[in-house]
Structure 1
């Protein structure tokens, strides 16, 4: 995909500052999980898939957590459609969503529980759902 020409210097500067890891939602969720006694790894490569990482990982229980940005991952509530370079952006964002689906399927095929959350979701609710998923996985593993 060819690089688009920036629509303005301010757009170019803003996009270059866009973080892809350690975002505010990720840090908020991680703090809550850590405070509740859970230990995890961050930004771990997806096994068997180059250039893809999992935001929060519980390797022993094989639970992968993704905190997706509304713009970059196509949130049905908050996604926006850029007007400049619209065709390029539509293809870029569609590719991101396709990659998310592919990554989730790949991990699930390898026995992982995959949880995806939007950046606008309450960190407390996300942490509660993560804890519940971990409890289920631990119970499943203990029953084997």
Structure 2
């Protein structure tokens, strides 16, 4: 949006986007407001329709799959708290674990090794989607329970 865009102009753009089916993520900064249209619209919306709305500075189509975590809409870091471990801040957080959780015993051994090596988060593949129904597809929820127990 233009630096001088009024709240009414911003709301008009939001209403237009919501009308066609987008979720709108608003980021109001010091110098301007950025509106992110996320999702698949129910009906097509040409970007020139938005550019004609007073207060709109520029319309940029973003097709990257990481719209919600990229810097286009929010320039500050996103920090996620995982049981007291802050991921996304200034500290590098090591996460380690098996690609595929195979057994309760394996998770226990790996968890101890991960902790001794300094990693702060245990991760592991509990669900392994495969193209063949006959291939190992992971232990699922049972594997998640093993990992929770090892983390405690």
Give the structure-2-normalised TM-score.
Answer: 0.26
Q: Higher relative CO (CA 8 A, sep ≥ 6), structure 1 or 2?
A: 1
Higher helix share: 1
The structure having more radius of gyration, on CA atoms, is 2
Give the structure-1-normalised TM-score.
Answer: 0.27
